[in-house]
Amino acid sequence: MVNSAQKENLTEQWDTIIIGSGAGGLAAAICLARAGQKVLVLEQHDVPGGWCHSFYLNGHRFTPGVHYIGLLGEGEATGNLYKGLEIANDLVFFRMNPNAYEHVHIGDYRFDYPDNPEALEARLIERFPKEEKRIRKYLKLVRLASEELYSLPYIKGFWQKLTLPYRTRHFGKYGLFSLKRVINWHIKDPLLINILNIQFGDHGVQPRKAAFILHAALMYHYFKGGYYPMGGGGALVKSMTNTIKKYNGEIRTKTAVEKILLQGDVSKKAIGVELKDGSKLYAKNIISNADVGITYNDLVGRENLSTKLKKKLDKTIYSCTSLMLFLTVDMDVKAAGLDSGNIWMMPNKDADDYYDQAMTADILKGDAFEGMFISCTTLKDPSSFDGKNHAIEAITFIDYESFEKYQDEDSKRSQAYLEFKEELTHKMINGLEKVLPGVSEHIVHKELGTPITNEYYINTTKGNVYGTEKSLKHIGPFAFKANTEIENLYLCGASILSHGVAGAGHSGVDTASRILGCHPDELKEPRQDQELLILEAEDNPNSYPDWIQKKIQLRRKRAVTKISGKSL
């Protein structure tokens, strides 16, 4: 325990304290530290990164929240963001299979998404010739509405704003409608609708509740393909933390915040944080990259919130939660049909009906999960393959209700919880068998992440994976804002500007710009000395730069040495 005298000695003063080290918090820290602020990032886990962090099981790397990233090409938004944050030079990305970065498995039907919007249109028309005009019109709408959405921050000046209704006519016309309503206006074939909506797993909201404009923007984000970072999400985190340290920012792990310190009775002001050990740190500004429910209900305290904000919190719905299966397998997954592309698997039925059924059914009912996202990270990142064992990640969305009885689990899990996990692991593997027959006979190591895992390591409300639910009620003007009703307290992350790795990063920059009094574009202006190295995941590793080839050779040599029982 820390006595009161020790607590007083531990007080510190910072310009900005950031709670949580997800992509948003780290992006904000880079911008503020670079501007000369004294910045401190606090993380309750033993490693930084939030959903972006990587971890190792039996010597193999997994990343729970980074599965692919879009818009990394020259002049595209995510690439520019990383160049603006001065982390591009430290990153290498592998472009996933350009002919099929998404493999769609709907019942017995198969369709592959190419990384070219014109090729996607042609491929869809070839399969659904009767829908040709509708396909062209719908994909054009997706592109135009998304481009208009992305253009909003750049519409400035009296004359540009005067023509705003014309400049954003597609976004404006469809912006307040659900995905299901808009796509049903344009597309008639049920199978085609499911194919076009398959990426709803990237925001976790079924078509009848998802905002069309959100889904359109997500499709647009991946129109030119998907990329995976060499080193997994941990490489992103490392590049960001190194840049923070370069500008004299500080990151402390295993440092949990108990509450945000406030000053004033009527008009409240954030002045610092109190840690779990009782010590207090003070700052001019506080940014919370934590879940909005955790931030307001726990760290600020409902007694310090306005009636209006409490009502908003009470009506807030959080995104679905998940089961994440992490496998190491000793089989030739390429020969079995896998490549660097993701696999989306679902039954051939209405997506809304299936989603509702999956969220309400007995989670143990049936012998296999029918809907899953599957990827092989050792094919996405060839440098991580040891020559023998592949790493596979498989995800299915579930409702938190199935785990409510285990919500008080501590680090020493109960026997009942472990047995429940084992049953679910078996059901996940059975689902994976439909894509990768025989995989159950080649499992070297397995581990299942549950909503309880998400709560424990990421500290999200009910183990949610995307922050607030990305329905019409929780995005755009209805989302939580970076500025709060409490002076000097700011928010960033998946529930604020946008979700996903890139979205959270942009959110962090936006929040930093509010503190610094500038436009976000000033903070993410691409630096001329920054360049992203992008390689092809499907290429022969011998075509990669020498230093990457040496990295691959060393990893394989270590694997062989380990198998032979020797140590390097």
Q: Is the pLDDT confidence value at 3 over 90? A: no
Average confidence score pLDDT of the chain: 92
pLDDT band for position 11 (cuts 50, 70, 90): low
Distance (Å, whole) CA 315 – CA 147: 31
Nearest to residue 548, comparing CAs of 66, 93, 238?
Answer: 93
At 7 the pLDDT is 47
At 437 the pLDDT is 96
Phi, psi (rounded to 5 degrees) for 329 = -130, 145
404-446 pLDDT, tens per residue? 999 888 778 899 999 999 999 999 999 999 999 999 999 999 9
DSSP run (H or E) holding 95: strand 92-95
DSSP run (H or E) holding 328: strand 321-329
Token pair of 544, please? 């990669």
**Beta-ladder partners of 106:** 109, 346
Nearest to residue 211, comparing CAs of 177, 245, 170?
Answer: 177
At 150 the pLDDT is 67
* 474/126: higher pLDDT: 126
Q: DSSP string of 44-70?
A: SSSSS-GGG--EEETTEEE-SS-S-B-
Instruction: Over range 7-21, report the average pLDDT.
Output: 79
Phi, psi (rounded to 5 degrees) for 192 = -65, -40
Q: Is the pLDDT confidence value at 289 over 90? A: yes
Instruction: Over range 210-215, report the average pLDDT.
Output: 93
Place of tokens 């009161």: 4
Instruction: Over range 335-349, report the average pLDDT.
Output: 97
Least confident span in 152-156, 168-172, 261-265, 424-428: 152-156
Instruction: Over range 99-118, report the average pLDDT.
Output: 97
Work out the number of other CB atoms within 10 angstroms of the CB of residue 119: 13
Q: Is the pLDDT confidence value at 6 over 50? A: no
- Output the CA–CA distances (angstroms, integers) from residue 357 to 57, 208, 363, 368, 377, in the order listed: 33, 14, 10, 14, 30
Q: What is the dihedral of CA 41, 45, 47, 53, to 10 degrees?
A: -100
122-145 pLDDT, tens per residue? 999 999 999 999 999 999 999 998
Query: 414 and 406 in contact (C-beta within 8 Å)?
Result: yes
475-526 pLDDT, tens per residue? 888 899 999 999 999 999 999 988 999 999 999 999 999 999 999 999 999 9
Structural domains of the chain sorted by starting position, each given as residue range(s) with its CATH number in brackets? 1-50+256-316+470-537 (3.50.50.60), 116-221 (no CATH), 538-563 (no CATH)
- Give residue 256's Cα distance to chain centre: 22
Residue type, 125: I
Sorted by sequence, the CB contacts under 8 Å of residue 344 that are 6+ apart come out as 102, 103, 104, 105, 198, 199, 201, 373
